[in-house]
Structure 1
């Protein structure tokens, strides 16, 4: 018996249309290396970014935004306080949030912070590479921000995290894996140049938050964000075969990638 894919291409295309139509406010507590790229990615996709980690402002934004991104890429003691306040405010106000556990595992303080945030309020989506996901499940993690594992190696860990926190777990790789512990989708789009530009994975976390603000299904939100970014990456690589020009082209293609392109080119399995 053929088991149907739990999220189909039409679902993703409709979510794409809703993101552009509704232009949700996405509160991003993200790392300083990628903040500008992340903001531009959200704007190109049709969302509205807000970025502050000052406790008082972050708490207010998190309570009123459509969704919240917490990215641990360059976390400091001060930004960690903003993250704690934002996660608590999101939980109080019923706002979805995304955890991007950058470089957890080999770096002890941020690993501890990730665990604290997960205890404070379960995220709607945990998005990371395979090593980061395995680290949250008790593994050692990768080499800094680089993964030393692939998504297929993280299937068990991703399912365990999904069950523990009632969350969706999105694992980035050559073929992306997204699971909520019951349903699993693989996205086979993308291009190798996406790994040669700083901030692409971080932008994916922000886009995931954007989709969470407009759809009720966290699995669909994570799949839609992954498809949108990966299709934009494929199109950008056609006309910009080097990393510098590719980064600019990727922002352009996030704007250009519409529901029709998704229906024609998305590869879900």
Structure 2
């Protein structure tokens, strides 16, 4: 039986954030068309360096020199799938860690089959909402596209099983985020409901996870730190804005100015 979740330490999050800003990892983002600009700005604000190299002829070459790779299947097409497979193969050969964001898996057959194929290619981390993680692990879920109808705590057993099956650190996000390697689990608090009313907060979190998994040291800590940095910046931004229109610039400012003592 898996141990109860441990509330993630702000000191550990601060340590990982300090490492990230010192390293400024280069993150190769194969992400969905809707969120590319926002994702790039989030990575820049937190202290990483983004790149969106999407052609299959270049994706493999670039992922081999990147610090980390994000694979987000939100707007999956066959050419995009080809680029993802090429990039992952090259990343694995170069020991570049990569992150899977299984957007809307379970609801659509082809992307579900594709994501299950990707699991065999050894992602370093997987980040999804409760319904996505449950579907990816083979459990019944009630998601509606990118929207989760399941609770993150209910999805924790699926996340733990998926981590044990794949060797990846799995982050299931929701009102509370749970980050697990299958044995040890962190509970990451914070965030705000308003963050669900802006396109790209979850997708950009996956990109930030890809930046943090590029760091040396304990991967479980770094993935939990990515979740805490984003939830803390989001919570602080939401306290100062009127709605989703003003949230985005406030969120980027909070990420840019976030200090370890706040975490």
TM-score by length of 1: 0.93
Q: Which runs of 5+ in 1 are unaligned?
A: 263-269
Aligned partner of residue 261 in structure 1, secondary structure: coil
Aligned partner of residue 153 in structure 1, secondary structure: coil
Aligned partner of residue 255 in structure 1, secondary structure: helix
State the superposition RMSD in angstroms.
1.6
Question: Within 2, Cα distance between the matches of 1:110 and 1:217?
Answer: 31
Aligned residue pairs, count: 260
Give the conservation status (yes or no) of the 8 Å contact 1:66–1:95: yes
User: Which residue in 1 is equivalent to 2:82?
Assistant: 81
Please report how far the alpha carbon of residue 260 of structure 1 lies from its aligned counterpart in structure 2 after TM superposition: 1.6
User: Which residue in 2 is equivalent to 1:130?
Assistant: 130
Question: Within 2, Cα distance between the matches of 1:154 and 1:127?
Answer: 12
Give the conservation status (yes or no) of the 8 Å contact 1:97–1:123: yes
Q: Compared with structure 1, are the counterparts of its residues 124 and 6 closer, same or farther at alpha carbon in structure 2 (3 Å cutoff)?
A: farther
Aligned partner of residue 190 in structure 2, secondary structure: coil
User: Which residue in 1 is equivalent to 2:15?
Assistant: 14
Question: Within 1, Cα distance between the matches of 2:7 and 2:182?
Answer: 12
Please report how far the alpha carbon of residue 21 of structure 1 lies from its aligned counterpart in structure 2 after TM superposition: 1.4
Question: Within 2, Cα distance between the matches of 1:108 and 1:84?
Answer: 18
Aligned partner of residue 69 in structure 1, secondary structure: strand
User: Which residue in 1 is equivalent to 2:34?
Assistant: 33
Aligned partner of residue 13 in structure 1, secondary structure: helix
**Within-5 A mapping of 1:3-152:** 5=6, 8-119=9-120, 121-141=121-141, 142-152=143-153
TM-score by length of 2: 0.95
- Greater CA drift, 61-70 or 140-149: 140-149
Give the conservation status (yes or no) of the 8 Å contact 2:8–2:188: no
Aligned partner of residue 94 in structure 1, secondary structure: coil
User: Which residue in 2 is equivalent to 1:266?
Assistant: none
Q: Which runs of 5+ in 2 are unaligned?
A: none
User: Which residue in 2 is equivalent to 1:242?
Assistant: 243
Question: Within 1, Cα distance between the matches of 2:237 and 2:23?
Answer: 25
